[in-house]
Each structure stands twice: as structure tokens, then as C-alpha cells.
Amino acid sequence: MTQTHRLSEGGLVDRSKPLTFSFDGITYTGYRGDTLASALLANGVRLLGRSFKYHRPRGLIAAGSEEPNALMQLETGPYTEPNTRATCIELYDGLVAKSQNRWPSLGFDVGAANSLVARFLPAGFYYKTFMWPASMWMTYEKYIRKAAGLGVSPTEDDPDVYHGTYAHCDVLVIGAGPAGLAAATAAASGGARVMVLDENNTPGGALLGTSNNAASLEFIQRSVQSLERNENVQLLTRTTATGYYDYNYITAIEKVTDHMGPGKGGTAPRQRFWKIRAKQVVVAAGSIERPLVFADNDRPGVMLANAVGTYINRYGVLPGNDVVVFTNNDSAYQVAFDASESGGVVTVVDTRSSVQSSLKALLEEKNIKLFEGHAITSVQGAKGVESVRVMKLSADGDSVQGQAWEIDCSVVASSGGWTPSCHMVSQSGGKLKYIESIAAFVPDESRLKKTSPNISAGSCNGSFVTATCIQQGTQAGVDAATRCGLHGTAASSESFTVNEVPLGTISPLWLVPTTHPVGEGRSKHFHDFQNDVTAADIQLAAREGFVSVEHLKRYTTTGMATDQGKTSNLNALAIMANIQGVSIPEVGTTTFRPPYTPLTLGAVGGQESRELFIQERHTPMHEWHVDNGAEFEDVGDWKRSWYYPKAGEDMHSAVQRETLAVRESVGMLDASTLGKIDIQGKDAIKLIEMAYTNNWQKLAIGSCRYGLMLNEHGMIFDDGVTTRLGENHYHMTTTTGGAARVMGWLEEWLQTEWPEWEVYCTSVTEQWAVMAINGPKARELLQSITDIDVSKDAFPFMTMREGKVAGVPARVYRISFTGELAYEINVPARYGKHLIEALAAAGKKFDLCPYGTEAMHVLRAEKGFIIVGQDTDGTVTPHDMDMDWIVSKTKEEYLGNRSQVRIDTQRTARPQLIGLLTEDPTVVLPEGAHIVSEVSDAPPMPTIGHVTSSYMSPNAGRSIALALLQDGINRKGDVVTLRLMNGEVHRATVSDTVFVDAEGVRVRG
Amino acid sequence: MFIINCPYCGDRDQTEFSCHGEAHIPRPTETKKMTDEEWGDYVFFRTNPKGYHRERWLHDHGCRRWFNALRHTVTDEFVASYKVEDPRPPIPDNGGQS
């Protein structure tokens, strides 16, 4: 294949460095400096993809990141990436790309049949058609997504590495075009720390795409050199500012090694995600040309005028020999001149009835034919433009008349004017204002004027002449530096000639008429190419009442694709404005959302993925658990031992064995993860009295008590045992998951409500390692390794003793979460592993069995002990839990007290905790199963409660469950019905919540 | 992503903080004497203004101190942040502009 469309000279590509690449299996050659788009164009490849909905043939429209059509499946295997824009892929040797959304091939696509039934696929089609029956959506969805899809996601793990980084600067400049470079230069001259971001691989912006641009390139080089020499300046290319958030917080994605090809980046990350905090932000993001919306304007070969200019001037590619320039403003005339200079045969079709004479003279000089006051009414050529038909426009522009001229051409360069890139300013909450003279919105006031004033410069501010852009940029740089308390200076004014034609008098023609009304006949007027939305869809939306800009967007899906409507949004608004007979600002704009262009999620995650995503918390005994074959469970960030399977055991049998062992001999559990708070100070008792529902005044030193915490709504939010260590010294324990929450809760009250109280709370969760030993042989086991007198009378239930255990200092609490004789041995964390090893060794003769959290759950449920967050859900009171015994009737105040007697907490039929015994004792109900008052074949059924805990209890010899049931406490003995998701129906008797040792003898043994 | 001035630490990133709603709502005393409506007012009802708002903030991932801030709920401008025991800074007299 030869590069048929490559010019013999000119452009910024390096013709001495040929690169080979493949597209849809065919090998082509391009040059260093090409994008995939320019290289394909150089090879005469126009058909690059099929459209989203109608599967129409599509080619390039743009030369930059606004490209809506040329979406590629780039590379293969684990490196494959869908929906990459060919215009943003720098060519490298060996690049492999495939077109998308076509089957079996790009040239012959079965889905193109959609085009034939296009009249049945209007806006809102899917909403209307697949609404009913709702249950069928799951079936439809698969096929719809398949038909309307874009690229294919990789199925293998991403082998690339991504980094994230933070930066701070005085002035951040978004865009390194003429305005951005000038702004950065001016700001840096005042000593500001400056960062400049540009999505291109080379600074220069639009100047790179102008003809005879030696002077422009000199300006760029001069600016870049002076910036790079300045150690306060960081100039990042291949870096797109993706989001502009409050207080000048900017995110950006830097494509560090993408341009080298997959796996070729060495040790560098593939991409880097920047989070930048700037004191001031100068937005110099440029502007995007708007396509004219005319009949069949999506044929491959219909491009934006400036894209044609850029391909000629930057890449040395003439997209086609016969070029029709179709415009409503002067700027596209430069493209006509450039194409003509490059040997193209050019015709200009201008919708305006009178073009200024100086331009006409230039056209004549270059032998370019001009149709004034004319419009393109149709485009011929199925897979690429072959010719266009041109007719005279009526005076009001609403219709065409007279003779139709047929012009043979392969390229249509269309310009409907320029849309400033207001994305960044809008994202940050800034307003936009409409400027008639350029028929577009520009940035207006920012939301936070003091810290983030709107400092926009250049064409994103509505200036389309290079000299003005540089002037504005310089002023913006000075302003930004001044706002940072520095003194930026305007460098000697830059003056050089750029081949450009100013916008002139733009005459908006938002919807170009054709020989029949829009929406009738087979031709389509596209305004949103990527989501396949036409002017007729907007008309339909208006007819059906979806006139607000937000409704319009969602109903037609205009502006919702991966290009976020970069080329389409303003056209859509204007067409709607015309239909309604209101002004464009009256229709309004939607707020731009980040990211500006699609970004790799892997880059946002950076290094914080997989095992680094959340830091795991390990107890001091973790290694022992691993060595002893524990399976682990996540509890908060903790890894807790779940169960210890022996050879051949599944989870069920291991848990049953561990549960039995605790009640038959003795078991040990790592309880280190429980939250622990050391509370000291003369007012400590006041805090404890307020935090818990029960009385604490008479608790003796060395004694423990169980407590329940409520929020001010009166709902249970944590529980635990607190021990009085000294006169004004307490040791509070909390649930594992609630440790930080309780600590925060106590601090909140102390700092905001009772700052005068003398209380100090210190989290000591990680300072203590805790082993709980439970079971009838717990005392003997403990006695064998401690100097503490553990006899029944010397160390009664709910007390604490200090002494040595296994030779190290310990606090031993005689408390129990299993209803067995139990001790919780606390040692300084550094002795944790030593303690568990000592227990394991000493435990051999007592048949000591290590058990995990699952057996712990069964054991506590056998005793009806609740787990906050499992049996409670933030909507239950102590009364609902049948725990009135723990609520003080005499205390004046405690948190949540008054809510206990609110009408709602006192009403009957509140869900209350009860036990459930299934009719069939082998049935273990699933947790979450609903108790229903009536059974029917399918939901909905009236629910009167649900199962919160459910296990097979080896000690009760049957299944047991805890449940919340309406008015449950009064229903003990009743039989209720449960209906499961799979349709099974079970009956169960409402019981007490204690299933083992109801008298509580064992715990006091 | 705001910059928030912690009265104890200085300017810090928003990710270090959490907001806990309207400030200056003391816990009532003698709650047993309150009507359901009065207690409900304290527990559930907040002003939720469009404009300047005095809020409680916690410097979670920092000094872990609670403080109050005067913020504009539309523009997110922080006019002032102040310690719990400090007098309330005045609301700017600029018609809600910032």
C-alpha cells in the first residue's frame, strides 16, 4: 500500500522514519509524527467505523480529541482498549487497530439493516418499546447492548502499571496553545510556580495546524525553551486536564508511554493521574469547530474544515483532491486556500448571500469557484463522499430553491463556526454567556469569585485571532500571578504573521434545509454523530414535550456518548431554540461533567489497587492463625479467623466441631479486634453514664458491666463491656466494626457539648492482644499458666484481675460471649503471639480447640446474645430487642433517653427480637428470609418480619434462628410462615431467644 | 474539593474532614419534661438554608478536633472557621454573594 494522499512535502511528520501498522488486518505505512487518523487518511482509508445505532458508514470528522466517529479497538489481548479515538493515537511501529461496531466486516455490515428501518428507531425508541413487560427487560437488554455497542472490554488482567501523583502550584495553565504559552510565560516571569498542561504531544495548539508556519513554530519553540529553562515551570504534554473541581482542584491524565506501544514503556508507568491544587487557574483550552447540520452530513469524507487544514498542514496529508468547503463564516476560507495550495481542486459553498470582496478576490486569484447564498442539499456516495448537490438558499434560510448543481468531490470541509471549550469553567460551577457575534457561549462568572475567578484566554474565551489570543494570554498570566501576590510582567509583545482568516460575520444556519422537510425521506441531518442523533430526533422530542435541555439530552441521548457532545451540543440547543422560537440562551446549556475526555480507570486507581486498595489489619496472632490453617473473614478492615478446617473438613463440619468443643472442653478465640478505649479523668463516670443506657455509679473497681449505646434517635448503635480499673479509670470495649465510630461519638460529645468535663479518651484497640478462652475447662487451662487465683470465689464472673499469664503481664476479664465459663486474657500487643502459643501448648491436655468467628456466632446465638449490626439495623430500640432490663428507669439523662418514650418507639407492632424454631429441625433458614402473613405464588406478600441470624446448633441439636417480628414478644408460641426466594415455604414456632442453658448456670460455673 | 481552614492546623484538603450538619444546637437539659414535638425538633429538624450556614466539622484525618465553620451552601465559600468556644463570626452583609 502506498500513501496515496500524502503530500510530497510539508507538515510536521518525519518522512525519514516510516512506521508500519495494521488496521482491520491490512498493513499500512505512516510516518513518525502521524496519528493513527492521519496515517489512515494518508493511505486513502476513509471508512473507519460503523455508527452506534444505524450502523452507517463513518469516517474521520476531526483531527483532535473531539473526534466522534473514528473509535478504534486498539491492540489485542490484555492490552486491548476499546473506543480510543484514532485522532489521539500517536502512531508507533507495529500498532494494531480494528474498527468497531460492525459484523461481519466493516465493508459489509449486517446491522446496517437498521438504516432501512431507521424510521422505526426514533429518539426514545428503546424507552417506548421495551418498557413492557418490565420483567422482559433482562432479556431485551442483552441483545440491545450487543447491537448498539461500541468496543469490547479486555477480558484479561491489565498488565500495565499506573501512578497517581499530587502537585501544587501558583498558576495552572490548561492548554499550551498561543494563549496558554503566553499566559505561562507572563506568570512565570513574575516568579510564579507554573504548571502547563496540554493534551497534545507537542505544545502549540492550533498553530501546529496552520500553513507556512515557520514563524509560529519559532514562537512555540521560543516560549517552550524559556519555560523549560525556568525551574519554577512544569510543562506537561500528552496531559489532559480532565476535571476542574472546587477551590482550583484539577485532575489530569498524563499518557506517559502510550505513544511507545504496549509493553514498550520500560519501567515508566503507562499513565499518570495528577491531582493538582493551584492558587489560580488560567483556562486556555481552545475551541472546537462546529459541523453544519445538512442532509447526510455523516458520509465519510465530510469533515470539519479545520481538520482538513490540520491534516494538510500538520500531517502533510490532503484528505482528497476535490474539496468542497461549506461554511457560514470566513474562517474556513483559509482551508480553501490551503487545500488549493496543496494541489486540491476547491469549491466554496457559503450560506451567506454576500461574501466580503477581499476574500472573493483571493478565491479568484486561486481559481476557486464560489457559490454565495447556497447550501449543500445532499451528499452522494454510500461509503464515502462522491459528490454533493448544491442549491440556492431562500432569504430566510428555511428552504432551498432553483437549480441543483452537482459537484464531484471526495471531501466536504464544513464549518458552522467555533464553540469555545467552556468545559473546564462549567465543571467548576462557572456560568456561561452567549455572544451573538460568534454565535457561541463563552465563560462568564465563576461560582467562587474570590478563590477561583474565571481567567480564560484565547479562543476558549471567544477570540479567534492568534495575536489577540497571545495578548489575552499574557494579560491572564499577569492577572493570575498578581492574584498570587506576585508581579507577572508582559514580555515584549509577540508579533508574527499567521496564515488565518478571522471569523468575520458569522451567519448561523443551524439546520441546513434540503428539498424535502427534515425528517422526511431517507436523508438524515446528523448533529450528534457518536450517538447517532438527528435533527428529526430533536423535532420529535419537542413534539412530545421533552423541551427542557435536560430532558432533550436524555430523551434523544444527544451529547451523552464518550465524546460528551463536543461537536454537537450547541447545534442541538440551537435547533431546539429554533423549533420553540426562543433564543439559544433561553434554552440554556447542560452542565459539563468531568472527565473532559474518557480516561483509564486503572490510572485513577493508580497504585492503590489489589492488595494496596485497602490496608488489611492483622492481629498480633495472625501468623499463628495462618500456620494453623485458618480461613479468614473480613470484619471491617480486619482479617479475622473464620474457622480452622482440619483435613477433609468443609466449613460446616469445622464450625460444628468447634462449636461443640467450646461447650464440651474449652475453645480459644482471637478477640484482639474488639474496640478498646481507655477512659480517664475525674468526670469519666459522667461520660459513661451518658453514653450507656444503664447505671454505672455503683460499679466497683475491678468489676465489669455490659452496656448498650443509643444514638439520640433512641436506636441501638453499639454495645460492649466496660470495666472500672481505678477510681477515675475505665476500660471500654466496643464491637469490632464500631470501634472508630464509638471513639468518635464520645469525642464529639466531649468536645462539642461538655468541653468543661475532665475526661480523656484514648483508643487502645491495637495496644492489647486478646485471647478469649471459653468452656468448662477454661479455668483449669488458665490456672495452669497464671499466678492469678482463678478459683470461683476469688475471681467471680464480671470481674477483672491483673497478674501474669504465660509469664507476661496481663489483665484477665471474666466475661463471656458464649454463655460458658470464660476469660478474656489481655496482654500488651507485643506478647500476643507468645500468649497464643503458650495457650496452645498448655491447652493440649484440656482438649483446647481454636475456634473462629463463625463458631463464635453460633455460640452467641445459642444464648440469644445479639450482634449489633446483624440483629440490629439502626431502627431498633432496647425494648425492640427485649432488653428493657438494661435501660435505667432512674437516670435523669443518657443519650437517646427521651426517644424511648416517643410515640413511634412506644407504638405496638414494632419489629421485636424473638427466636424461631423451624418445624423441620434440619432446615436452616437463610438470613434475611421474610416472615409473611399470607403466602401467595409470587411476591408481593405482606411481610411481618425477617430472620437476622440463623445457624445449625450442635448444642441445641437442631437449627436455631433469631428474627425481628412485628409485636414478636407477644407472639411467643405462635407458628409463623416464611417464604423463601426460591419459593420454599417453611413454618416455624416463635420462641424465646435463649436456646442453650436458659438458666445461665454454666457462665457462673 | 474544598480547602478548609482547621482552626488548630490551618488550611487542609477536604478529604481530611467530615461535615456534621448545623452547628449551635445544644443538647436540651431536662429532656423528660419535653414534649415529643420539642424533642423531635432537636433530634430531626435542621434549617438547611440556601446561603450562609454555620456547620460542625471534624478534622477526622488530622487533629481529630471538632470546630464550626461558616459556609455558603451554594458557592461553597468558607467565610470563617472557628473553635467551639469562639464567638460566632458575623454573616457577611453582601446579599449572599461571594
CATH of the domain at A109: 3.10.20.440
Band of residue A138 on the pLDDT scale cut at 50, 70, 90? low
Residue A969 contacts residue A899 (beta carbons within 8 Å): no
Q: Kindly state whether residue B95 falls inside one of the protein's structural domains.
A: no
Please classify residue A291 by burial: count the beta carbons closer than 10 Å to its beta carbon, then call 0-12 exposed, 13-18 middle and 19+ buried: buried
CB-CB under 8 Å, A277 with B32: no
In the structure grid, which three cell numbers stand for residue A246, read together?
A: 472546587
Residue B64 touches chain A, beta carbons under 8 Å:
yes
C-alpha cell at B50: 440556601
Mean pLDDT of A312-318: 98
- CA quadruple A228, A229, A233, A236: dihedral, nearest 10: 10
When CB atoms are compared, the residue of A744, A748, A902 closest to B39 is: A902
Lookup result for grid cell 434560510: A397
Asked whether residue B97 carries a pLDDT value surpassing 70, the answer given is no
A318 shares a domain with A282: no
Kindly report the nearest CA distance between residue B10 and chain A, in angstroms: 16
Nearest CA in chain A to B79: A450
The pLDDT tens digits of the residues spanning A529-573 come to: 998 999 999 999 999 999 898 899 999 999 888 888 999 999 999
- Which of A248, A280, A751 best probes binding to B when mutated, by most B CB atoms within 10 angstroms? A751
In terms of Cβ atoms closer than 10 Å to its own Cβ (0-12, 13-18, 19+), residue B41 is middle
Q: Is residue A835 located within the same domain as residue A687? A: yes
Cβ–Cβ below 8 Å for B98 and A450: yes
Longest distance between any two alpha carbons in chain A, whole Å:
115
- Pick from B30, B43, B60: CB nearest A713: B43
Rounded CA gap, A769 and A487, in Å?
59
Q: Are residues B77 and A448, on separate chains, in Cβ contact within 8 Å?
A: yes
> Quick one: cell of A723?
470495666
Pairwise pLDDT comparison (A591 vs B73), residue with the higher score: B73
Backbone φ and ψ for A337, nearest 5 degrees, come out as: -65, -45
Contacts of A550 (CB under 8 A, 6+ apart): A590
Q: Is there a single domain that holds both residue A933 and residue A827?
A: no
With bands split at pLDDT 50, 70 and 90, how would you rate the model's confidence at A136? low
End residue of a domain, out of A152, A174, A194: A152
**Residue A113: is its pLDDT beyond 80?**
no
Of the candidates A246, A892, A898, which has its C-beta nearest B2's C-beta? A246
B98 touches A: beta carbon within 8 Å: yes
Q: How far apart are the two ends of chain A, measured CA to CA in Å?
A: 92
In a domain, B94, yes or no: no
Evaluate whether residue A491 is within a structural domain: no
Residues A510 and A541 in one domain: no
Distance CA A825, CA A160 (A): 47
Which residues, other chains included, contact A452 with Cβ-Cβ below 8 Å and sequence gap of 6+?
A246, A247, A248, A280, A281, A428, A446
How many helices and strands in chain B, by DSSP H and E? 1, 6
A403 contacts A391 by C-beta, under 8 angstroms? yes
A605 assigned to some structural domain? no
**The whole model's pTM is what?**
0.89
Residues of chain B with Cβ-Cβ distance to A249 below 8 Å are 1
Distance (Å, whole) CA A723 – CA A742: 16
Q: Are A885 and A695 spatial neighbours (Cβ–Cβ below 8 Å)?
A: no
The pLDDT of A914-936, averaged and rounded, is 97
Strand, helix or coil for residue A669: strand
Could you tell me if A751 lies within 8 Å of chain B, comparing CB atoms?
A: yes
pLDDT in tens, A408-456: 999 999 999 999 999 999 999 999 999 999 999 999 999 888 888 999 9
| Chain B interface test: which of A449, A898, A904, A907 (most B C-beta within 10 Å) | A898
pLDDT for residue A995:
97
Nearest by CB: A903 against B36, B66, B84: B36
Task: Please give the residue range of the domain that contains residue A212.
Answer: 163-287+419-483
> Cβ contact (<8 Å) for A902 and B84?
no
Question: How far apart (Å, rounded) are the C-alpha atoms in residues A178 and A190?
Answer: 19
A592 or A781, which is more confident: A781
**Cross-chain residue pair B29–A893, CB shorter than 8 Å:** yes
- As a whole number of angstroms, the distance between CA A610 and CA A158 comes to 12
Minimal Cα–Cα distance from A611 to chain B, Å? Answer: 22
Is A712 in contact with B56 (Cβ distance < 8 A)?
no
Count of A-B CB contacts under 8 Å:
62
My answer on whether A144 and A234 are in the same domain is no
Of the candidates A333, A375, A377, A374, the residue with the CA atom closest to the CA atom of residue A356:
A333
Chain A contacts of B56, Cβ < 8 Å?
752
Chain A residues touching residue B74 (CB < 8 angstroms): 447
Distance, in Å, from the CA atom of A881 to the CA atom of A948, rounded to the nearest integer, reads 12
Once rounded to an integer, what is the mean pLDDT over residues A71-75?
Answer: 96
User: Could you read off the pLDDT of A957-988 as tens digits, one per residue?
Assistant: 999 999 999 999 999 999 999 999 999 999 99
Burial class (CB in 10 A: 0-12, 13-18, 19+), A414: buried
Residue A289 forms beta bridges with which residues? A418
Among chain A residues, the shortest Cα distance to B33 is held by A898
What per-residue confidence (pLDDT) applies to A133?
Answer: 58
Best of A448, A877, A899 to substitute, by most chain B Cβ atoms within 10 angstroms, is A448
What ipTM does the predicted assembly reach? 0.96
Given pLDDT bands bounded at 50, 70 and 90, which one contains residue A653? very high
Lookup: cell for A224: 517552550
Which residues of chain A lie closer than 8 angstroms to B75, CB-CB?
429, 447-448
- Find the largest Cα–Cα distance for chain B: 44
**Per-residue DSSP letters for A51-107?**
-TTT--EE----SSTT--S-EEEES-GGG-EEEEEGGG-B--TTEEEEE-S-SB-SS
Q: What is the DSSP string of B32-67?
A: GGS-HHHHHHHHH-----SSEEEEEEE-TTTT--EE
Same domain, A278 and A213: yes
Contact of B56 with chain A, judged by CB distance below 8 Å, is answered with yes
Contacts of A246 in chain B (CB under 8 A): 1-2, 14, 76
A380 touches A389 (CB < 8 A): yes
Per-residue pLDDT tens for A246-279? Answer: 999 999 999 999 999 999 999 999 999 999 999 9
Report the CATH number at residue A331.
3.50.50.60
User: For helices A853-862 and A651-664, what crossing angle results, to 10°?
Assistant: 60
- Nearest residue of A to residue B18 by CA position? A744
Residue A71: which pLDDT band, with cuts at 50, 70 and 90?
Answer: very high
Please report which confidence band the pLDDT of residue A728 belongs to, taking 50, 70 and 90 as the band edges: very high
pLDDT of residue A582: 95
Q: Which of B29, B43, B84 sits opposite A712 (nearest CB)?
A: B43
Query: What average pLDDT score do residues A752-770 get?
Result: 97
pLDDT exceeds 80 at position A115: no
Q: What is the residue-averaged pLDDT of chain A?
A: 94
Q: Are A246 and B31 in contact (CB < 8 Å)?
A: no
Q: Alpha helices of A230-356 — where are they, by DSSP H?
A: 305-313, 333-341
Q: Compute the nearest-CA separation of A82 from chain B (Å).
A: 31
Query: Containing domain of residue B39, as a range?
Result: 3-83
Q: Say if residue A838 is in the same domain as residue A725.
A: yes
How far is B46 from chain A, CA to nearest CA, in Å? Answer: 15
For A748, the closest chain B residue by CA position comes to B66
Q: Are strands B78-83 and B66-72 parallel, antiparallel or unpaired?
A: antiparallel
CB contact B82 to A (< 8 Å): no
Residues A11 and A87 in one domain: yes
Whether the CA torsion A684, A687, A693, A698 is positive or negative: it is: positive
pLDDT at A142 over 80: no
Of A744, A751, A898, the CB nearest to B34: A898
For residue A309, count other CB atoms closer than 10 A to its CB: 29
pLDDT of residue A595: 94
Same domain, A724 and A850: yes
- Is the domain of A734 the same as that of A854? yes
Query: Residue A601, SS3?
Result: helix
Report the range of poorest mean pLDDT among A133-147, A205-219, A423-437, A764-778.
A133-147
User: Across the interface, do A898 and B39 touch by the CB < 8 Å criterion?
Assistant: yes
Tell me if A110 is assigned to some domain.
yes
Confidence of residue B98 (pLDDT cuts 50, 70, 90): very low
Residue B49: is the preceding peptide bond cis (ω within 30°)? no
**Averaged pLDDT for residues A352-358:** 95
Cβ contacts of B58 on chain A, cutoff 8 Å: 744, 748
Number of domains in chain A: 6
A157 close to B (CB below 8 A): no
With a CB cutoff of 8 Å and minimum separation 6, the contacts of A391 are: A374, A375, A377, A400, A401, A402, A403, A404, A405, A515
- In chain B, the number of structural domains is 1
Option in B14, B26, B85 nearest A755 (CB):
B85
Is B98 among the domain residues? no
What are the DSSP calls for A303-318, one per residue? EEHHHHHHHHHTT-B-
Whether B39 and chain A come into contact, CB under 8 Å, resolves to yes
Residue type for A492, please? Answer: S
**Assigned domain for B63 exists:** yes
Lowest mean pLDDT among A30-34, A116-120, A321-325, A413-417: A116-120
pLDDT of A471 higher than 60: yes
Q: Is the pLDDT assigned to residue B7 strictly greater than 50? A: yes
Are A549 and A511 in the same domain?
A: no
CA distance B20 to A748: 10
Which among A128, A152, A176 is the end of a domain?
Answer: A152
Residue A820 belongs to a domain: yes
Smallest Cα distance from A248 to chain B, Å = 8
* Beta-carbon separation of A892 and B32 below 8 A: yes
Q: Are residues A129 and A49 part of one domain?
A: yes
pLDDT at A590: 83
We report the CATH number of the domain holding residue B22 as 3.30.2270.10
Mean pLDDT for the stretch of residues A687-712: 97
Distance from CA of B20 to the nearest CA of A (A): 10
B26 part of contact set with chain A, CB < 8 Å:
yes
Tell me the mean pLDDT in the region A731-738: 96
Strands of the sheet containing B52-58, edge to edge, are: B18-22, B52-58, B66-72, B78-83
Task: Return all residues near A221 (Cβ < 8 A) that are at least 6 apart.
Answer: none
Q: Calculate how close chain A gets to B67, using CA atoms only, in Å.
A: 8
User: A449, B98: Cβ pair inside 8 Å?
Assistant: yes
| Final residue in a domain of this structure, among A152, A179, A200 | A152
